[in-house]
Structure 1
């Protein structure tokens, strides 16, 4: 299946991501970030964040099993870019309602021909319905191999 603009707007079912201390701690340790903003409540309370917050790239760890109703060939997919757009701090104890949606599909011509790009945005809202963050993932969708693969 090739990508086309009709896919824009297709979304996943909403799911809940709970931000717990152990997950944040393990993530920060895994990326080697010892910033006390992610561990030390006394320190974090005196910052602009007003509490223990998550590392900026932590959102990538939420929703890795979410499924979109698209039949994509995973062998043709390459990770192109990841972006995190914060509207407010995400903290330990937050419960985020997340929905992933296709927000753009476009083509670019490169040295090896035309490649397609799929942009997926996961909106993450706090329990009060206010948007906390958007995790944007751009996927490069390579041309199908000759012979049907």
Structure 2
């Protein structure tokens, strides 16, 4: 179903690690650690600035992959793994893009399920890697049938 999309990537999209958004994100996950929200703590830290929580890249845009059409509902979030070269600094620009890594299918108790493996990259303004995010999207038989109609 999505095998022909393997290897395709989106264009880079500029994002900013905005202070107010970091605070709201930290509040939403229930982790108001001072390194995320207190400016004095950030200034005195080894980073010289506040940093964003590890799962913060979920709010970043990473562009659309041409030809990839996913349904707006019914998908299952299967897995998500982050790897960091360094923390995200508050107020820095981050350029993100996505790549389709793999697609495979397995037979389940309710029919065939598709597994779409994607990888997002976040780079600084000089193109140096800051983080990667690997995720798996599960497409159930019900969603697969609805897409073919």
Q: TM tier, shorter chain? A: 0.7 to 0.9
Contact 1:53–1:91 under 8 Å retained in 2 = yes
Structure (1 or 2) with the greater helix fraction: 2
Structure 2: runs of 5+ lacking an equivalent: none
Cα displacement (A) at 1:114: 2.5
Residue 47 and residue 108 in structure 1: after superposition, are their counterparts in 2 closer, same or farther (change >3 A)? farther
* CA-to-aligned-CA distance 1:110-146 (integer Å, 9 cap, x gap): 2223311111111000112110001222100122338
Structure 1: runs of 5+ lacking an equivalent: none
Q: Secondary structure at the match of 2:145?
A: coil
> 87-96 vs 111-120, which deviates more?
111-120
Aligned to 2:106: 108
Using the size of structure 1 for normalisation, the TM-score is 0.85
Give matches, 1:1-149, under 5 Å.
Answer: 2-4=1-3, 6-63=4-61, 66-69=63-66, 70-143=68-141, 144-145=144-145, 148-149=148-149
Moved over 6 A (4+): none
Alignment partners' CA distance in 1, 2:106 and 2:35: 40
> 96-105 vs 106-115, which deviates more?
106-115
Using the size of structure 2 for normalisation, the TM-score is 0.85
**C-alpha RMSD of matched pairs (Å):** 2.2
Contact 2:23–2:32 under 8 Å retained in 1 = no
Alignment partners' CA distance in 2, 1:46 and 1:23: 21
Cα displacement (A) at 1:47: 4.5
Residue 75 and residue 43 in structure 1: after superposition, are their counterparts in 2 closer, same or farther (change >3 A)? closer
Alignment partners' CA distance in 1, 2:71 and 2:51: 36
The total of aligned residue pairs comes to: 146
* CA-to-aligned-CA distance 1:42-98 (integer Å, 9 cap, x gap): 33355454531101111111117x322212334452221222211111110211111
